[in-house]
Chain A
Amino acid sequence: MHLDLPGAKGAVTKVSPDLQDLTEIVIILEAHQDTVGISVNRRPVASMAELRSTLMTLGKIRLDVPIVIDPSPEVRISRVIEVYDLCREIGFVNIQFATPADR
């Protein structure tokens, strides 16, 4: 389905019925000059440490909560991998990348 959320420009696979009431976690990465801006469901996150804390909280609830990583094209791939590795490290099992809709 197409993500109908601001910043989500891509498409992800369908969410399973028992997860449907859980809010999908959308991590948006945007290039801000030399830094990378991170937000979780449109709420800005100040640092990787704060992102880790938020994800840890979520991971304690369910590890199969759907997570979508949505990087803008200007963000360096190493930063994207860093976020992905963080999700994996916490134990999330349902991590996807938003794919640009026009691909």
Chain B
Amino acid sequence: MTVDRHEHVASPSRDHEESHRHPPRPDLDDTLTYHRAMEVALRELLIEKGVFTADEIRRQVEDMDNRTPAQGARVVAKAWVDPGYRSLLLSDGGAACVAAGLDRGLYKLVVVENTPDTHNVIVCTLCSCYPRWLLGLPPDWYKSRAYRSRMVREPRAVLREFGTEIPDDVTVRVHDSTADMRYLVLPQRPAGTEGWDEDRLAQLVTRDAMIGVSLPLRP
């Protein structure tokens, strides 16, 4: 039997009931703020005027939600196995996306490469700029004030909180995505993956490794 309102169910133990009371959920689970009301009004007007349809908006939202870090992982794995592709990715990120059969993206893509001497990490201190066509929607922490302000101020401490310890003899380069570029970290290929093909390598490339707060998985 499914019980969703514990406080109204007879319980053999009154103590249990007292200790197990959940606050009722409000009927409205969202708030209509000024800007949300503006968005609803504008959207309804544009639909009414035939500029676009409700289905077209839904499809755009669906497309956006369907983008995942798998796209970025494909690009990274390809650069790991193909030196020519790696050069293209580092010199012209947009062209490299197209060459991998992906969208070019609306923004210029800057790919920054991790090396034994350098670790790169991405932040947008002003808002939440993110290469969505390669990684999907940004995680909530990426948009938080704490991440945005602290990653430029004390990157090594923040990386440590993500479980990523960068040795003192490795340079940490923070990239603040403030204007028209979007950034992707090209992590170092993990040792022990010699002879692996692109598909297998792509399984090691995580979203967080491409933001730079973590390293790729180990084989």
Chains A and B belong together in one complex: no
